[in-house]
Amino acid sequence: MSRIVVITSGKGGVGKTTTAASLAAGLARAGFKVAVVDFDVGLRNLDLVMGCERRVVFDFVNVINGDARLNQALIKDKRLGNLAILPASQTRDKEALTEAGVEQVIGELREQFDYIVCDSPAGIERGSHLAAYHADDAVVVTNPEVSSVRDSDRVLGLLASRTRRAERGDAPVQEHLLLTRYDPQRVKKGDMLSVEDVQDILAVSLLGVIPESEVVLNASNAGVPVILEESTDAGQAYDDAVARYLGEQRPHRFLQTERKGLLGRMFGG
């Protein structure tokens, strides 16, 4: 039985696509068959972050309209054989994703994949509704910053009321909080909301904390999911988050400022 997980946030620019790419790659690396689907019609970007932008031939809307078969539109990842990407359409027609069309494609994906990761667009409009509608699990990506936290709370409300599970009265969508762009130094100074602050407000179980890191930008520049940069802090933090998603207990790392020795302080190491 496959599981559908939506990556959502309300606010834009908090790291949804980065997270979708890394969660999908992490699950695939753990041996599962994974499809990651870009729901951001008109603003396709998952392909760039995954590094397969030049291999896009058909897209999500082509499949819905019957212009292509699902397997023609799915792009196999070059690094991980059991990972596939379904790119969003670049059409400007906001009605291009239909409820029936999404349901049909999700149904077909279920036949082939263990996990279907849905990368939601920002906002609470049609696209994000459709991305979340079929979800079993949700990863709410949040920055430790007021507008992001407020938007996440809105999105949590919608997950509890507007999804298929809510409408049918099934068990609720499993919600997970992923705090990104976390800067322990600024938290220590009192300039940034802490993990505990955000958890107090949102009251959702914490999947992970991704430290603010130049590695994330470098990885997206190169079209590599940051989780595959195994020696980096952000890569390891994503790896921890995926392990926790799969039920493993791992302590949270990267929450404290690095303790620098005297030499480190003197030489800025």
Partner 1 sequence: MGIVDFFRARRSHRRDSASVAKERLQIIVSHERAEQGGPDYLPMLRQELLEVVRRYVTVDPDAVRVDVERDDSHEVLELNITLPEQQDRA
Interface segment toward partner 1; rule CB under 8 A; list 86-94, 114-122, 171-179, 184-192? 184-192
Angle of helix 195-202 relative to helix 146-161, nearest 10 degrees? Answer: 30
Q: Is 206 in the site for partner 1 (CB under 8 A)?
A: no
CA separation for the pair 37, 212 (Å, rounded): 25
Q: Which of residues 106 and 209 has its CB atom nearest to partner 1 in the complex?
A: 209
Closer residue to partner 1 (CB): 90 or 257: 257
Residue 146 C-beta: closest distance to partner 1, Å? 5
* Single-letter amino acid, residue 70: L
Q: Which is nearer to partner 1, 81 or 157 (CB)?
A: 157
User: How many Cα atoms sit within 13 Å of 135 on the Cβ side?
Assistant: 32
Which window, 92-100, 127-135, 191-199, 235-243, contacts partner 1 (CB under 8 A)? 191-199
Q: Using the rule CB under 8 A, is 190 a contact of partner 1?
A: yes
List, in sequence order, every beta strand (DSSP E) within the chain: 3-8, 34-38, 75-76, 83-86, 115-119, 137-142, 174-182, 205-211
Strand partners, 119: 7, 38
Between helix 146-161 and helix 126-133 the angle, nearest 10°, is 60
Among 103, 108, 153, 183, binds partner 1 (CB under 8 A): 153
Count other Cβ atoms within 10 Å, centred on residue 199: 15
Provide, rounded to whole angstroms, the least separation between the CB of residue 193 and partner 1: 5
Handedness of CA 37, 39, 42, 45 (dihedral sign): negative
Q: Closest separation between CB of residue 191 and partner 1, Å?
A: 6
Q: Give the one residue of 67, 200, 230, 248 binding partner 1; rule: CB under 8 A.
A: 200
CB-based contacts of 182, cutoff 8 Å, min separation 6: 144, 192, 195, 209, 210, 211, 212, 254, 255
Binding segment for partner 1 (CB under 8 A), chosen from 45-53, 106-114, 129-137, 147-155, is 147-155
Q: How many residues bind partner 1 (CB under 8 A)?
A: 18
Site for partner 1 in 107-136 (CB under 8 A): none
Q: Using CB under 8 A, pick the residue from 2, 112, 194, 218 that binds partner 1.
A: 194
- Which is nearer to partner 1, 169 or 190 (by Cβ)? 190
**Rounded to whole angstroms, what are the CA distances from 12 to 18, 43, 100, 132?**
12, 12, 26, 16
Nearer to partner 1, 90 or 147 (CB): 147
Any idea what DSSP says for residue 240?
H
Nearer residue to partner 1 within complex by CB, 53 or 153? 153
The residue from 69, 78, 94, 154 that contacts partner 1 (CB under 8 A) is: 154
Q: What's the CA dihedral at 129, 156, 180, 48 to 10 degrees? A: -10
∠ CA 260-258-181, nearest 5°, is 145
Contact call for residue 161 and partner 1 (CB under 8 A): yes
Site residues (vs partner 1, CB under 8 A): 145-146, 149-150, 153-154, 157, 161, 187, 189-194, 197, 200-201
